Amino acid sequence: MTSKHYSNLDLINLVDSFPNAATHPVSHAERLGELSILVHNTHTLGYILPSVTAVLKDAKLSGTHWRFAGKVITLTGETTEERSENIRKTTESWRENGIFDILRGWRNELYTVYSPKGREYFRLERSACALFGVVHMTAYTTCPLKIWVPRRNPAKPTYGGLLDNTVAGGISSGMSVFETLVKESEEEASFPESLIREKAKAVGNVSYFYQRMKTAGGEEGLLQPEVQYVYDLEVGNDVIPKPCDDEVQDFHLMDMEQVRKAMSWARGRLTISIVLLDFFIRHGIITPENESDYLEIGSRLHRRLEFPTW
């Protein structure tokens, strides 16, 4: 990873790596052919790798909460509570039996999976989401116009020592986007609540379909469609982010050129490229004149995902 130089589009291809039906129908069909589909009625909630399906079918490990019909998998349960309880029992059994590496990062934090009507369909331990290929939702913020870039704790198993977004955090069950941002800003950068409420500005969202790489920790190839809500936070020189938990080692104030260079050498967590590319496009740093892939980048940053959200 460290010896190759990546273009902006290379970075997108690494992150938004699941084939797109519209532009790559053959690879998309081939890839889908290998996967099982987690459904609610006829709607896709997530995609499941064969290695996960095999374990799901083992009632000793996974219980009897699952129904199988060819490629199609259903989680049983009449209510949101029942379904959440059933998938909890399954994933906790996997964790206890040490089945999947990715569950070593168990967070005790629940994400919501939505029905096609945007209602809560079930809740699921955050670290288990990629096993079912269900959509992640995240709130992000960047501080322009120089960017405060945190370097992750080198002792961390995932992305140790790499650059990260200023503040980012998954949206837990029952939390709104903005409340997630307030909470994470405090936890990750010691930003006071009043600063975020006053200055953080919603500026859009990005979305992509990530197939997890080795560097992400856990099994390779796990499926992670993601939606990220993006906020800009413009602060003066008097506001200095400070690490609060042990995720971040320290913050560096980098100018745009330094950030782009770090990105192009993949010195950051890969998925942050998406949010930063969107930042560069919104702020006229990447332009139609200096980036020949401008239009493709613009649509790739906003991939239409087939999974329901709220």
Q: Give contact residues for its own copies (rule: CB under 8 A).
A: 20-23, 118, 176-178, 201-205, 207, 227, 229, 281-284, 286-289, 292, 294-295, 298-306, 309-310
- Pick 103 or 233: Cβ nearer its own copies: 233
- Pick 146 or 283: Cβ nearer its own copies: 283
Amino acid sitting at position 290 = N
| Number of continuous H segments (helices) and E segments (strands) in the chain | 11, 12
State in angstroms the smallest separation of the CB of 26 from its own copies.
12
State in angstroms the smallest separation of the CB of 170 from its own copies.
15
Whether 238 and 104 have beta carbons less than 8 Å apart is answered as no
- Pick 191 or 280: Cβ nearer its own copies: 280
The candidate with the shortest Cα–Cα distance to 274, out of 251, 245, 303, is: 303
State in angstroms the smallest separation of the CB of 199 from its own copies.
11
For residue 196, what are its two tokens?
């975020």
Percent helix / strand / coil, the chain, rounded to 5: 35, 25, 40
What contacts 24+ positions apart, CB below 8 Å, involve 126-130?
Answer: 126/170, 126/172, 127/102, 127/103, 127/218, 128/87, 128/91, 128/94, 128/102, 128/103, 129/224, 130/102, 130/212, 130/218, 130/222, 130/223, 130/224
State in angstroms the smallest separation of the CB of 201 from its own copies.
4
- Pick 213 or 256: Cβ nearer its own copies: 256
- Pick 213 or 305: Cβ nearer its own copies: 305
- Pick 156 or 302: Cβ nearer its own copies: 302
Whether 219 and 212 have beta carbons less than 8 Å apart is answered as yes
State in angstroms the smallest separation of the CB of 178 from its own copies.
6
Those residues with Cβ within 8 angstroms of residue 33's Cβ, 6 or more apart along the chain or in another chain? none
272-282 helix and 256-264 helix, angle to the nearest 10 degrees: 140
State in angstroms the smallest separation of the CB of 218 from its own copies.
26
